Amino acid sequence: MGDTTRPTDHTGLVVLDLDDCLAKLLEVPVGRLAFQLDGELSILPVVHTLDGVDVCFRTTGDSKIQAAIDRDPVAFEVDHFDASTRSGWSVLVQGTATVVDDEMDIRKLDQAARAPWVPPHEGPSTWVRIRTQSITGRALG
């Protein structure tokens, strides 16, 4: 199946380069965060923004996310699939999650952010930064 002009992995998927991955991270507004808490894995959708190569998102009082982000390893994924053509792509970001507490940083992220999807919540709202350690992407079809 290989497209001779683009590298493929051992399963035949096209390997996306870093620029492709970053473009796709910007292209879609919602991604998914995987984190571990009390020995259980969870995946929850978040509305994200990109700061350099770091994925950032605001979480509004979600205690599960907040408990899990104490410099823990996390994964973040964006994708798009078309069932009619059985094609699509996915981008995976791996890193550690930290709470953003610097005022300048918070202001910068607030300005760059997309409008929140979840209506403002009475509880505290926190910016989380995933300090990116790797970004990889694959495309199919």
Residue type, 17: D
List residues bridging with 5 in a β-sheet.
none
For a copy of itself, the binding residue among 3, 4, 19, 40 (CB under 8 A) is 40
Residue 42 lies near a copy of itself (rule: CB under 8 A): yes
What is the C-alpha to C-alpha distance for residues 23 and 103, in angstroms, rounded to an integer?
28
Nearest-approach distance from CB 98 to a copy of itself, in angstroms: 15
Instruction: Confirm if 73 and 98 have CB atoms less than 8 A apart.
Output: no
Per-residue binder mask for a copy of itself (CB under 8 A), 95-114, x = binder: --------------------
Write out the two tokens for 88. Answer: 């699509």
Q: Collect all residues with Cβ–Cβ distance below 8 Å to 85 and sequence separation of at least 6.
A: 141
List residues near a copy of itself by CB under 8 A: 1, 10-13, 29-30, 32, 34-36, 39-45, 60-62, 73-77, 79, 81, 83, 86, 88, 90, 92, 94, 115, 117-119, 121, 123, 140-141
